[in-house]
Amino acid sequence: MNPNFLQTPIPYLKGVGPNRAEILRTELGIETYRDLLQLFPNRYLDKTQYYKINQLQPSGADVQVVGKIIHIKTVEQKRGKRLVAKFVDETGEMELVWFRGHKWIREQLKLNEPYVVFGRTSRYGSVFSMPHPEMELLSEHQAGLKIAMQPIYPSTEKLSAKGITNRVISKMIQQLFLESKGQFPESLSTNIIGELKLISKSEALFNIHFPKNQDLLAKAKFRLKFEELFFVQLQLISKKIVRKQKIKGLPFDKVGENFNSFFNQHLPFELTDAQKRVVKEIRNDMGSNAQMNRLLQGDVGSGKTIVALMCMLLAIDNGFQTCLMAPTEILATQHFNGLSELLGDMKINISLLTGSTKKSIRNNIHEQLENGELHILVGTHAVLEDKVQFKNLGLAIIDEQHRFGVAQRSKLWHKNEIPPHILVMTATPIPRTLAMSLYGDLDVSVIDELPPGRKPIKTVHRFDSNRLKVFQFIKDEIKKGRQIYIVYPLIKESEALDYKDLMDGYESIARDFPMPEYQISIVHGKMKSSDKDYEMERFAKGETQIMVATTVIEVGVNIPNASVMIIESAERFGLSQLHQLRGRVGRGAEQSFCILMTGSKLSEDAKTRLQTMVRSNDGFEIAEVDLKLRGPGDLMGTQQSGLLNLKIADIVKDNQILQTARYHAIQLLKNDPKLEKPENSVVRMAYSKMMQQSNIWNYIS
Ligand code: ADP
Ligand code: MG
């Protein structure tokens, strides 16, 4: 076959003129033979069965019938006309009906010729009718490729309006197979094909379009999904290898005094197995010659902070400074306090730098950073400012990474001559396989275990009409000594209104929970940060029992005595945000509760979100549902990753295949990093072709 066969522009295909080509291009993005070949069916209909008219059932399933048209008429009805053909076989008669396209259809139909009609039937009185059937002359049907399962291709209204029906598309693809004799270049090596018992590329393409049977269809799907994911992984992993080889890392080969004394004397609890494993993974990374770029995922409350601290101590033991950056002032402050407490009397210098740090203190910090006296800098974006210069930054940690952009990560890179090791931590669980793809160029560690003794949070959904009962519940909990969060949505587009809701809510709560019996804190984004701190502090110390807030408290805040989280207008929050908010409670030994308050009108998606929250405490499961509801498009990073352009694989459903693909991509590059070996030339050719022609790869720098 001509090696450029698949690049042939689509109008060259027999049966596709310029008009059809234009519609195919605008509606389906099909410009070349390859594009058409990769228009994979959405589903298949079983065409091995032929029905007799007297066998038809009123169930409305798709059926295939052989017979003749003996009569055609136009029937006037209230709204427009319908075209009705009387269709008979030796067992009875039925009607074929069209509501549109009469003229064209009438010209096509031949009387008294055997046809195969295919479609969904319904029964009116005693007569079955099949609206808008697919039809084919029996002679053509028998001459065509034998199709056991009929492919149903993606379609649009415009396509069907212009007569490009499923059958037409199917014909085009048949034509493509005729012209190519069904032979397409292989793109996977004999090794991989053998190991996974894959069918060949040509066989897979044939069976995805014209499956001979269920088994071959399944094999074809597997092969094509595997291949697609394999090449995505190949690309991500080679990117990572390039980074690891080109960029030398700071060697942290010592495990020194600080790490050991912390581990032996200051550790306030036993690490979970997951924490131990992750610390080990990070140590291995930082001890190697390569620069670390690692994503640490762990559900809220899984204990990422202490892992971060241990890594920082490792850096300090090797003579380096470290910094920890958090997205909000509240969180940075809390980290600073938490870390200072954990460090106790250890001789480690730690400072906090935020937008509101006083000038004199700030200057002092700058000085100590430059002369190397300061070991740990905790802060917000302020850390990124150019004025902040380290003597030797060895490790930079970013908490709640989804709040920061790539640009900020790269700024940290440049804070040292040799880029520091970078650890990004997130509690927004990204389904494992998605993470693998999105951050295929990062290494991923997961803390998949909560510290012992945590009771699962009880989550319920309550309508606003039940508010009084909810308030009574709050009072009971406060009596037991617990503290309560009440969170209001705050969304940019409706900010003014949302603030009003918040203030109204606050007032009504203040009425129902009067002073001096109850003390209420309020924290929102419009407050001065010193006021915020003051209120947070009061709540943290237990001086107030209720904290009314916007989502500023979403990330990281850790107040173990707070055991009830009430989320107002919960239907307006996304799933991951709800889960984050819920994670603010359940941090102590007491039973915690999350109450999702909503109005009575809920969309289907909102219902699913609420039900998911009520059912599950598992961040990864929630992330999966979120992914299904919103699609990967909304998830951070997917836009740039090319994952949206997958033709056949589904990163959510084809999770298992993705792992297999990733494994094989890694093995391949391990054995043959430049794909130079003769047995891998097939892969190399396919890969470079993809890199050249496909727009999905070109985000790679
Ligand atoms: P997150 O992963 O959400 O940042 P944190 O690091 O804030 O979680 O930890 C949540 C709470 O769990 C903290 O109070 C912390 O002290 C505690 N914690 C962390 N690890 C353990 C452990 N192994 N055993 C008991 N408590 C732990
Ligand atoms: Mg945290």
So where are the chain's domains? Answer: 48-146, 205-247+650-699, 257-288+303-426, 458-616
* Residues 152 and 165 sit within 8 Å (Cβ to Cβ): no
According to CATH, the superfamily of the domain at 257-288+303-426 is: P-loop containing nucleotide triphosphate hydrolases (3.40.50.300)
Average pLDDT over residues 120-137: 86
Question: Which one of 306, 324, 402 would you pick to mutate in the ligand 1 pocket, going by the greatest count of ligand atoms within 8 A of its CB?
Answer: 306
What ligand is nearest to the CA atom of residue 587? 1
Copy the structure tokens of residue 544: 């107030």
DSSP, collapsed to helix, strand or coil, labels residue 391 as: coil
**pLDDT tens track for 630-689:** 766 555 444 444 455 688 988 767 878 988 998 999 999 999 988 999 999 999 999 988
Residue 55 has pLDDT above 60, yes or no: yes
The burial of 682, by beta-carbon neighbours within 10 Å (0-12 exposed, 13-18 middle, 19 or more buried), is given as buried
Which secondary-structure segment (H or E) carries 150?
strand 149-152
CA 450 – ligand 1 centroid, Å: 8
With bands split at pLDDT 50, 70 and 90, how would you rate the model's confidence at 58?
confident
**pLDDT tens track for 584-606:** 898 878 899 999 999 999 998 99
| 549 closest CA partner among 529, 532, 534 | 532
* Residues 664 and 657 sit within 8 Å (Cβ to Cβ): no
Helices within 60-164 (DSSP H only): 102-108, 138-143, 157-161
Largest CA distance in the chain: 99
**pLDDT tens track for 403-460:** 555 566 667 777 777 889 989 898 776 766 666 666 666 788 889 888 888 888 999 9
Going by CA atoms, what residue is nearest to atom 20 of ligand 1? 303
The response to whether residue 305 sits with its C-beta less than 6 Å from ligand 1 reads yes
Please state, in angstroms and rounded to a whole number, the distance separating the CA atoms of residues 490 and 499. 7
Distances from the Cα of 363 to the Cα of 328, 368, 657, angstroms: 21, 9, 54
**pLDDT tens track for 170-219:** 999 999 999 999 899 999 999 999 999 999 999 999 999 998 888 899 99
CA 332 – ligand 1 centroid, Å: 16
Tally of CB atoms within 10 A around 500:
11
According to CATH, the superfamily of the domain at 458-616 is: P-loop containing nucleotide triphosphate hydrolases (3.40.50.300)
Residue 625 has pLDDT above 80, yes or no: yes
Whole-number percent of the chain with pLDDT over 90: 50
**pLDDT tens track for 273-303:** 999 999 999 998 888 878 888 889 888 788 9
The burial of 653, by beta-carbon neighbours within 10 Å (0-12 exposed, 13-18 middle, 19 or more buried), is given as exposed
| 451 closest CA partner among 587, 645, 617 | 587
**pLDDT tens track for 38-49:** 999 988 877 777
Supply the pLDDT for residue 320: 95
* Residues 513 and 532 sit within 8 Å (Cβ to Cβ): no
% helix, strand, coil for the chain, step of 5: 45, 20, 35
Query: Are 257-288+303-426 and 458-616 the same fold in CATH?
Result: yes
Copy the structure tokens of residue 58: 């009123």
Q: Which is it for strands 393-398 and 321-325: parallel, antiparallel or unpaired?
A: parallel
CA 302 – ligand 1 centroid, Å: 6
Residue 619 has pLDDT above 50, yes or no: yes
* Residues 632 and 652 sit within 8 Å (Cβ to Cβ): yes
Topology given in CATH for the domain delimited by 48-146: OB fold (Dihydrolipoamide Acetyltransferase, E2P) (2.40.50)
